[in-house]
Structure 1
């Protein structure tokens, strides 16, 4: 992935052409956005300041990226992803669709852990866990029984740590480092590890399969938010500053039936409420104006509207760069910034061909 300090001249022809082809399809080349990001420095500077001096110190916050189609919400979120990872956060960028509907938070959880990135190779919670296990193996001696017991105690006592999540972590450590028991086959050990990975990923697994690991709940709607907090706790234990969730295209709920919209808005409300009790946690929702203005938008669900009414009012007020509403619609790119963007894209095009 490109860093914020990468120059266009560092691109090879394949990378440059990949950018051009993604843009031709109308997609944001997320890994390369620092190369053609211009303007909106006020928003980005204040967001980065919040991440460094508030979220990384134990704060939690929800922001809404507000803009019409073509205002650059997805691009802006991709920039935040780069900034967050540069500052030591784990980040997950999820596009809310009919396959990943916000009204089914367990499905959103699955996508969050699938898209998780941080200071570890690869992407997804499985990559995170494998990286952690490998780091334990890199020590002078592999963990023995007493060390595993001490690690278990440490993990279970982490703030916001769910006991099932902690037990799952310890089960992975035992699976990786404990000698095979008499009569146990390596294939059985591998199968057990796969079961644990599926549980962490929110996949299909039965309570019966989990019982040997002292994991007594599958990931579901009732506990998925608690499991998410446990993930954040583990990420901090593993050296990250916290977690940033980037949830794009919340407006997909506008076309849904009222019952589904209400369930979706209830989950948004719960996520907002969760930040009041969470730490090291930042959520960004991307929304179009209709989400705030339409009768099918936030105002249709009183429990949510009572929490976000002030956001709608901010549209007519002076811009607040530290506020909850990041109004991209009211801060379009200036002419000189568009010229700079065009020059960058022309340079990328020259490299690609």
Structure 2
């Protein structure tokens, strides 16, 4: 028996799929196929929980389901007790910027904006994480105090000691001293209900201070998170999150095509150099409880002139060995190449969507499994770029037409239906 989908989630899923984008929640209700790829990435989730660091690249053509897979892993990790942050690269967001264009910092800010947990699945979770942590410390200290045994400042001192215990070893990490001081500042602001100071501390942690002088005036700290060192703060945050009870930290960075598309060879080189530094750091065990997944098209990764493989040090680490050929699957390598959904899997996916559509609009589903099979066959006969994304979008359009034009049959609608085409976008 299928699990009932909450109406709110159904609407989120349907609206996103109609727009040709991946829903940020509820993917487990419609996910099909990708069993091997999902199993591999879930093994990475287990490794991160045990204290390791992992780094993967997921590659698939535009509209093939790559982003869908990444968001499915995000949802699973959150439900397992991880914190997950995701960001799409763009012309304004990359891994390294310039003196005047802080594109790496812009990516860090986007990751912090999209910081998500099971209870805050759509982002903006940083303040909630800190507030829950502080509240749990107060509750824990209060539980262990005998009635009448401690009062006033002594209780606060015990809370302070608990906080210092949490961040003690972090001060020895790169930038750990300032990071720890900001956390203490946030606690002190919480203690006296100083909303303005809490907001400033969060701004600092999210990398939103543009100058050191501004941070000095507001918070008394002489450093800020910048374009060159944001990854170090990702590692600090990962360490902190585990200390306060989360299983680990995953960051998902998609749309590597935007680095590939840069017209500047120097810009591409610097970004690939940053990816290499992060990859080496993770694989050498210098980052604990941290998983990184990056997504891109095959072109963005494998192109020898502009892609990741144009940077020899990355190519030597990521490309398949001489035995990885003849169509054999090797999902244990750093780059996971997602395979196309089968016709059968597409049919199951569309069946799930049809049932959801009927539930949202409150009608009895009249389209049959045979109708769906015929729709898929017809779509795949088209001599165009047909992807799961375009098939889903077209199918929802057909469902909308059937619902609003009850005097027309599926066959009549499909006779003159113009199937959409996906074009690679940069």
Report if TM-score (shorter chain) is over 0.5.
Answer: yes
CA offsets per residue over residues 300-325 of structure 1, 9 Å max, x none? 22343333244898576621233222
Alpha-carbon distance in 2 for matches of 1:65, 1:316: 20
Matched position secondary structure for 1:279:
coil
What residue in structure 2 maps to residue 339 of structure 1?
347
What residue in structure 1 maps to residue 256 of structure 2?
250
What residue in structure 2 maps to residue 96 of structure 1?
89
CA offsets per residue over residues 254-282 of structure 1, 9 Å max, x none? 22121221121112112102202111111
What residue in structure 2 maps to residue 260 of structure 1?
267
Cα RMSD, aligned residues only: 2.7
Larger relative contact order (CA 8 Å, sep ≥ 6): 1
CA offsets per residue over residues 43-95 of structure 1, 9 Å max, x none? 2123213322x221111111111111121011000110111112221111211
Residue correspondence of structure 1 range 137-176 to structure 2 within 5 A: 137-139=138-140, 141=142, 144-158=156-170, 160=173, 162-176=176-190
What residue in structure 1 maps to residue 366 of structure 2?
none
Residue 73, structure 1, aligned to residue 82, structure 2 = no
- Asked whether the equivalents of residues 126 and 201 of structure 1 are also in contact (C-alpha less than 8 Å), the reply is no
Alpha-carbon distance in 2 for matches of 1:312, 1:88: 39
Residue 326, structure 1, aligned to residue 345, structure 2 = no
CA offsets per residue over residues 283-334 of structure 1, 9 Å max, x none? 1111111121241112322343333244898576621233222111xx2212
List alignment gaps of at least 5 residues for structure 1: 179-185
Moved more, 337-346 or 114-123: 114-123
- Asked whether the equivalents of residues 319 and 335 of structure 2 are also in contact (C-alpha less than 8 Å), the reply is no
Alpha-carbon distance in 2 for matches of 1:149, 1:190: 23
Length-normalised TM-score, structure 1:
0.86
- Asked whether the equivalents of residues 92 and 116 of structure 1 are also in contact (C-alpha less than 8 Å), the reply is yes
Structure exhibiting the larger radius of gyration computed from Cα positions? 2
- Asked whether the equivalents of residues 137 and 159 of structure 2 are also in contact (C-alpha less than 8 Å), the reply is no
Residue correspondence of structure 1 range 131-280 to structure 2 within 5 A: 131-139=132-140, 141=142, 144-158=156-170, 160=173, 162-177=176-191, 189-204=194-209, 206-208=211-213, 210-211=215-216, 215-256=221-262, 257-275=264-282, 276=284, 277-280=286-289
CA offsets per residue over residues 191-244 of structure 1, 9 Å max, x none? 322211110110025434545856331001232121111100111012111111
- Asked whether the equivalents of residues 6 and 34 of structure 1 are also in contact (C-alpha less than 8 Å), the reply is no
Alpha-carbon distance in 1 for matches of 2:55, 2:324: 15
Moved more, 294-303 or 63-72: 294-303
Distance 1:302 1:135, change over 3 A: same
- Asked whether the equivalents of residues 209 and 215 of structure 2 are also in contact (C-alpha less than 8 Å), the reply is no
Alpha-carbon distance in 1 for matches of 2:138, 2:65: 43
- Asked whether the equivalents of residues 148 and 174 of structure 1 are also in contact (C-alpha less than 8 Å), the reply is no
- Asked whether the equivalents of residues 255 and 295 of structure 2 are also in contact (C-alpha less than 8 Å), the reply is yes
Length-normalised TM-score, structure 2:
0.72
- Asked whether the equivalents of residues 232 and 243 of structure 1 are also in contact (C-alpha less than 8 Å), the reply is yes
What residue in structure 2 maps to residue 127 of structure 1?
128
